[in-house]
Chains A and B, each alone.
Chain A
């Protein structure tokens, strides 16, 4: 039987600048998560990911273009994607986030017209179900007032 899904779990619009935003107590009753982040940062820097309080065991690779050149590169850290000082939109799909028998892969579309457009694949190398996700900005950047973070659960 078909099940309506794509459930809003939590959302916040920043009323002041913030160094990070954390989703906690994420229920394990969904299969995938989607996060939508839209706004501006105090500096043009990477987004930092912290999952279940851990900044370890991350890896990522990207394809990107800045309007003139294309790049593909990779790394093993939690500074993934980019948040600009201009309007930025980040869409993150965490796949099988509640599974306890596989690592956690996520796909990211990172859109910053003032910088570049990126498609990324990333991994948190843990079999633990994801219960919290925190987004920061590298080098002590802040998300500016008005930036929104929304979390959705997708059944599967």
Chain B
């Protein structure tokens, strides 16, 4: 078999050369990866809301999405709810949650939208940071409604919170945008603090 010169190693056709029978020899195995950072937004200043848009453009390359949030809320109230709209609306949204506040009993509850948005968490810390990992499986399917799974935590000293929650967007339409805001009765100017971080990841399949 005619040998293949690997010029990157040999540097010269006249000097010492290593002969291989394949151009693949000596190279690292190509291992396609599956978990990708798509977008990230670390707020340079306070902001009323954060929105991921054009999510449908990821559907051809990714099967699942994940959103990671580490955020604080503005304002002075101890309770600031994390709210979302999907495709710029609160229509067709529903949620459930199982969690605890560190005292008393655990709870299991359901919620529907009000104030033009859906509450997906009761606690965005006003004096620190709350964290959320949101998984959206098979987000690009037009045969299914979209279901978000959330694992969240807040260690506000007066109102701590840990929960696993879920949100239903009961629509088979393409998921295009998700907006996050803060407010007790509606998304308001409370907003997120500077340095709050929102990252979007895609998982291939």
The interface of chain A, by Cβ under 8 A from chain B, is 2-6, 31-32, 59-63, 70-74, 93, 95-96, 99, 101-103, 105-107, 109, 119-123, 154-156
Contact = CB atoms under 8 A, between A and B. Distances in A.
Main secondary structure on chain A at its contact with chain B? strand
Interface residues of B, number: 40
Contacts of A73: 102-103
A128 to B, nearest CB: 14
Contacts of B37: 2-5, 154-156
Given A61-B155, A156-B68, 10 more contacts: A2-B38, A2-B202, A3-B37, A31-B68, A61-B102, A102-B129, A106-B131, A106-B153, A121-B155, A122-B153
B114 interface: no
Nearest to B154: A121
B162 A121 contact: yes
A31 B40 contact: yes
14 contacts: A5-B35, A6-B35, A31-B197, A32-B68, A59-B157, A63-B163, A93-B131, A95-B131, A102-B72, A109-B151, A120-B153, A121-B152, A121-B161, A123-B155
B26 interface: no
B56 to A, nearest CB: 16
Contacts, number: 127
Contacts of A70: 105-106
B116 interface: no
B10 to A, nearest CB: 31
A107 B151 contact: yes
A130 B161 CA distance: 23
Nearest to B123: A121
B100 A103 contact: no
B102 A119 contact: no
